[in-house]
Amino acid sequence: MSTTAAEVGRATPTGAITAADLEKDRSFKGTIGDITSPNARMVCRDVNVYYGDKQAIKRVSLDIGKNEVVSMIGPSGCGKSTFLRCLNRMNDTIPGCRVTGLIALDGVDVYDKKLDVVPLRAQVGMVFQKPNPFPKSIYENVAYGPRIHGLTNNKTELDELVETSLRKAGLWEEVKDRLDQPGTGLSGGQQQRLCIARTIAVSPEVILMDEPCSALDPIATAKIEELIDELRENYSIAIVTHSMQQAARVSQRTAYFHLGDLVEVGETDQIFTNPQHKLTEDYITGRFG
């Protein structure tokens, strides 16, 4: 597992990124629209991802800015999850998966061989497409992250953190009387909200959400969207969604993926009202996908 970092081919071998690097990469013109963000926290340039011989992401460049929600849309299998998982190196765990190109968080190369992935993942949290609570109690699920990182000083603080996290995820009222029951005993939607609570409990600065609302009812969805809006004040968020309305509601910028290519990026309003590319237009008007 830990060895896959060594297998990752690197385009830019050094950890520090110079302005010249960025300038050079900006010239890339595969994608329609402005891939950059004025206040970028995560910078991705020419990212390629291969599963064995199969290329799942092709020369994707995209910034994720401070106080910004970037939504990623596109037909199933186009590589949205794959791209998202590159950002906190979750792809390291997949044997045969190779990432090339540049991904940087606050100017630090994420794929630098010397970089420790543990703090990276504490900083870049992730909500997975399929809910994956630990087979432990609801309380333990949320408390686990803060505990291993030593975020709280005592039990009371931890209790408080668990409660606020569950409240933010809109799950508190449903589970407050059964915190000691297994997280796996919850319904699919409740499990997903538990995973969201687990992720925000470690206060990550960038949050990656892979279809966080796909199993939720409209009320819970509204709750999560509210949370995303709230989190945006301090953090950066990348969200994958199949719901155009959701993308339109929560995000400032939208990226449209198609078969591993990043076809178009732009202000959310502009993408939905005035798409430039034929594929984008077809997708958002519902002609395919």
Cβ pair 30, 260 in contact under 8 A: no
In whole angstroms, the minimum distance from the beta carbon of 78 to another protein comes to: 21
Our finding on whether 131 is near ligand ATP (CB under 6 A) is no
Q: What are phi and psi of 60, to 5 degrees?
A: -95, 130
d(CA 88, CA 111): 9
d(CA 58, CA 225): 30
In whole angstroms, the minimum distance from the beta carbon of 189 to another protein comes to: 17
In whole angstroms, the minimum distance from the beta carbon of 85 to ligand ATP comes to: 8
**Cβ neighbour number for residue 122 with a 10 Å cutoff:** 17
Cβ pair 131, 192 in contact under 8 A: yes
Residue with smaller CB distance to ligand ATP, 71 or 81: 81
Our finding on whether 192 is near ligand ATP (CB under 6 A) is no
In whole angstroms, the minimum distance from the beta carbon of 79 to ligand ATP comes to: 4
Question: Which of 3, 76, 154, 156 contacts ligand ATP by CB under 6 A?
Answer: 76
Pull the structure tokens for residue 39. Answer: 């206040």
Q: Which residue is nearest to ligand ATP (CB)?
A: 81
Helix ranges (H only) for 233-277 are: 244-250, 268-273
Amino acid at position 123, single letter: Q
d(CA 286, CA 103): 32
Stretch that binds another protein, among 24-32, 56-64, 132-140, 225-233 (CB under 8 A): 132-140
Question: Which of 55, 184, 243, 270 contacts another protein by CB under 8 A?
Answer: 184
Q: Which residues pair with 258 in a beta bridge?
A: 261
Q: Which residue is nearest to Mg ion (CB)?
A: 81
DSSP conformation class of 185: G
Residue with smaller CB distance to another protein, 124 or 279: 124
Residue with smaller CB distance to another protein, 49 or 263: 49
> C-alpha angle with apex 90: 33 to 204, nearest 5 degrees?
75
Residue with smaller CB distance to ligand ATP, 142 or 271: 271
Q: What are phi and psi of 216, to 5 degrees?
A: -105, 150
d(CA 79, CA 58): 9
Residue corresponding to tokens 């968020």: 237
| Residues whose CB is less than 8 angstroms from the CB of residue 3 and which lie 6 or more positions away in sequence, other chains included | none
Question: Which of 80, 198, 232, 258 contacts ligand ATP by CB under 6 A?
Answer: 80
Binding track, positions 44-73, relative to ligand ATP; x by CB under 6 A: -------x----x-----------------
Our finding on whether 214 is near ligand ATP (CB under 6 A) is no
Q: Which residues pair with 105 in a beta bridge?
A: 42, 108
Residue with smaller CB distance to Mg ion, 40 or 208: 208
Angle between helices 138-149 and 155-168 (to 10 degrees): 120
Contact set for ligand ATP, span 253-272 (CB under 6 A): none
Site residues, Mg ion (CB under 5 A) = 81, 129
Residues forming the site for ligand ATP (CB under 6 A): 51, 56, 76-82, 94, 129
Interacting residues with another protein (CB under 8 A): 1-3, 88, 90, 93, 95, 117-119, 121-122, 125-126, 128, 130, 132-136, 144-145, 148-149, 182, 184-185, 195, 198-199, 201-202
